[in-house]
Amino acid sequence: MSVIVLVEHTGGIIKKQSFEAVQYAAQIAGKMGTTVTAVALGSVAEAEMENLGQYGAQKVLHVADSRLDELHSRAYAGALIAAAQKENSKVIVTLHDIKGRAVAPRVAVKLKAGLVAGALSFPDTEKGFVIKKAVFSGKAFAYINILSDVKVIMLMPNTFPAKKEEGKAIVEQLDVSFSEKDFGVKVKSVNKVTGEVPLADAELVVSGGRGLKGPENWGILEDLAKELGAATACSRPVADSHWRPHHEHVGQTGGTVRPNLYIAVGISGAIQHLAGVNGSKTIVVINKDPEAPFFKAANYGVVGDALEILPRLTAAVKKFKEHHQ
Amino acid sequence: MKILVCISQVPDTSTKIVLKNNNTSVNSDGVTYVINPYDEWYALIRAIELKESGIATEIHLITVGKADVEPVIRKALALGGDEAVRIDAESNDPYETAHYIAEYAAGVGYDLILCGKESIDYNNGTTGAMLAELLDLDYIGFATGISIEANTAVINREIEGGEETDACNLPLVISCQKGVAEARIPNMRGIMAARTRPLKIITPSGITAVAEILSYELPPAKAGIKLVSPDDMDELVQLLHTEAKVI
């Protein structure tokens, strides 16, 4: 009856967001009076898996097939279902991210399970199995009641920060027989932008818009990002003008970010941009136009010229860091 | 080669969400509905490009909704597409939506099924992968580029911190995002032609619901902004540390 949770790893190192998912699953399991079984796919170090005990997993089922180092949604779904069947699980948790969104829907269909994508709350079992999620690109929330016996929850990353405790999980190997069809997608090449924090995972984001006037001024934005350890992003016009690569574009048609801190520099804050950033916990807006709509959605604002303010802010962050080592 | 493009009707991005019936539904009075941007700008336009380049022979559009979604599906037809299908059902659950589309698609047999990466109303992004499972097909999500060579699709897709290029034999399901196609607007000829293209209405077989929306709520109003002097960035850093607790 244990709660199953899919953990993700990059090159064998388990993702921080997966700790959040394990801890989330552990709290649900605690309420249900059961335990948590994490499922790890592909080449993951034993110690990494044992450490999932620090976030509440009692057991890890490891499907060691190295083909699972790449995302194969059929195979992943098959492995997750095999684990759920072994454990007789009624609740399956994944992250609401690229992998989770490729796998969880398949699992839900296969098990005839209701699913909540982008879960923002623990299930409320007073009136059924009710979970909150954002709808209309963050302009409202919906409370979804899962009616089926088996439930699939895709947890929105960076919703419940994980806290490490004492614990060690038992690792068991799980053999799953895959067919050729499970690996129908062939990976031809992978192009990783090294040394950068992936935007979707970033806790801190510094984002620039047209107010920076041109790509030659991006250096001062990157200085601030570097000092903070933040990822960089941009508004749509900036990506469309090729000042910045397209994967940095956040907004309605670009990516969505949910950092703890989003610093918007020279971005007016059109509704399409807000749709991609309104999951941010704290928003700082720097803009020389005091009428910019973004100020209405911000927690902190600085009215002034970005090109003057950014170096000052970078220096202030640097000073702060020196005092808080 | 036949392509099916999944189209969802959504409130325009600038819609102010108003709730009614004790917060159990969203008020549609005065709301402008549009084709879900990801379905239109990327999935549909890429399908049209593939037809223009002679790779695809037929494009069908499909949507799940009652008669009120017809203007939106007609608009999609005006951009391109040979025929449209409306599954006559109301659904805001991806499981249900995917079942209806899969039921129809299985009867026709498509080489490629394209959808947007998510709808901007329910933000699930799960219909494509569900369709793939129901139709026993491969699935690639978050595509940023799609090309077809003979019986194989070559897809660029977003991965964490970069991009991957995959190859997969047809048929398959792909969810599309920015990068897949170049934007365009319908021209008068397309709008006129769309009027004469067939719009089939299909009654689906019922399925048992696995989830329901109980209620909605609006986010609390922002507490108001704290303005910091542009000459005092130390203060901003202090606020971010002590008050917001983000650094």
Q: Do B240 and A300 touch (CB under 8 A)?
A: yes
pLDDT at B225: 94
Q: Which residues have C-beta within 8 Å of that of residue A33, sequence separation ≥ 6?
A: none
B26/A139 touch (CB, cutoff 8 Å), yes or no:
no
Residues from chain A contacting residue B139 (CB–CB below 8 Å): 73-74, 102, 106
pLDDT in tens, A189-233: 999 876 667 788 889 999 999 999 999 999 999 999 999 999 999
Which long-range contacts link B143-152 to residues 24+ away (Cβ below 8 Å)?
Answer: B143/B174, B143/B175, B143/B176, B143/B177, B143/B179, B143/B180, B144/A246, B144/B177, B144/B178, B144/B179, B144/B180, B145/B179, B145/B180, B146/B46, B146/B50, B146/B114, B146/B174, B146/B176, B146/B180, B148/B1, B148/B50, B148/B55, B148/B56, B148/B112
B244 chain-A contacts, CB cut-off 8 A? 261, 281-282, 299-300
The predicted-structure confidence for A147-183, as pLDDT tens digits, reads as follows: 999 999 999 999 999 999 999 999 999 999 999 999 9
Contact A277, B201 (CB under 8 A): no
Distance from CA of B198 to the nearest CA of A (A): 30
Mind spelling out the 3-state secondary structure of B123-152?
CCCCHHHHHHHHCCCEEEEEEEEEEEECCE
Chain-chain contact of A74 with B165 (C-beta, under 8 angstroms): no
Over 90: is that where the pLDDT of B131 sits?
A: yes
Q: What angle do CA A189, A205, A281 make, to 5 degrees?
A: 125
B135 vs A contacts (CB less than 8 Å): none
Q: Which member of A114, A282, A313 has the closest CB to residue B244? A: A282
Report the alpha-carbon distance of residue B191 to residue B51 in Å, rounded.
Answer: 18
Kindly provide the residue ranges of all beta strands, DSSP E only, lying in A129-219, ordered along the sequence: 130-135, 140-146, 151-155, 170-173, 186-192, 204-208
Q: What is the pTM of this model?
A: 0.94
Interface contact A115-B95, CB threshold 8 A: yes
Instruction: Give A16's Cβ-side CA count (13 Å radius).
Output: 13
In B, minimum Cα distance to A319 occurs at B234
pLDDT bucket at A253, cuts 50 / 70 / 90: confident
- Which residue of A104, A187, A253 is in closest CB contact with B41? A253
Q: Nearest Cβ partner of A247 from B158, B166, B238?
A: B158
Looking at residue A253, its amino acid is T
Query: Identity (one letter) of the amino acid at A33?
Result: G
Tell me the chain A residues in contact with residue B133 when contact means C-beta distances shorter than 8 Å.
Answer: 77, 105-106, 109-110
Q: For residues A270 and A80, give the distance between their C-alpha atoms in angstroms, rounded to a whole number.
A: 41
Of the candidates B205, B183, B178, B186, the residue with the CA atom closest to the CA atom of residue B71? B186
Rounded-to-integer distance, Cα A61 and Cα A49, Å:
9
DSSP character string of A233-277? EE-HHHHHTTSS-GGGBBSSSSB----SEEEEES----HHHHHHH
Confidence of residue A248 (pLDDT cuts 50, 70, 90): very high
A73 touches chain B (CB under 8 A): yes
Cβ pair B236:A284 closer than 8 A: yes
Q: What's the rounded mean pLDDT across residues A80-106?
A: 98
| Gyration radius from chain A CA atoms | 21
Q: Which residues from chain A sit within 8 angstroms of residue B177, using beta carbons?
A: 253
Write the pLDDT tens digit of every residue in A7-25.
999 999 999 999 999 999 9
**For residues A84 and A73, what is the distance between their CA atoms, to the nearest angstrom?**
16
- The chain A residue lying nearest B207, using CA atoms, is A112
For A37, residues 6+ apart whose C-beta sits below 8 A from its C-beta are A2, A3, A4, A5, A57, A58, A59, A60, A61, A83, A87, A89
- Find the residue in B nearest to A202 (Cα): B161
Question: A-chain residues within 8 Å CB-CB of B239?
Answer: 300
Plot region of B85 (φ>0 → left; ψ -120 to 50 → alpha; else → beta): beta
Q: What is the band of B184 on the pLDDT scale with cuts at 50, 70, 90? A: confident
> Residue A83: helix, strand or coil by DSSP?
helix
Mean pLDDT on A233-259: 92
- B52: exposed, middle or buried (C-beta count within 10 Å: 0-12, 13-18, 19+)? exposed
CA torsion sign for A316, A317, A322, A325 is positive
Q: Find chain A residues with C-beta within 8 A of B138's C-beta.
A: 73-74, 184-185
pLDDT at A195: 65
Tokens of A124: 């409320």
Q: Which tokens sit at A53?
A: 């005990």
What are the tokens at B208? 């048992």
CB of A116 within 8 Å of any CB in chain B?
Answer: yes
Nearest Cβ partner for A313 among B124, B139, B236: B236
Strand arrangement, sheet containing A300-303: A231-234, A204-208, A261-265, A282-287, A300-303, B226-227
Q: What is the CA radius of gyration of chain B?
A: 21
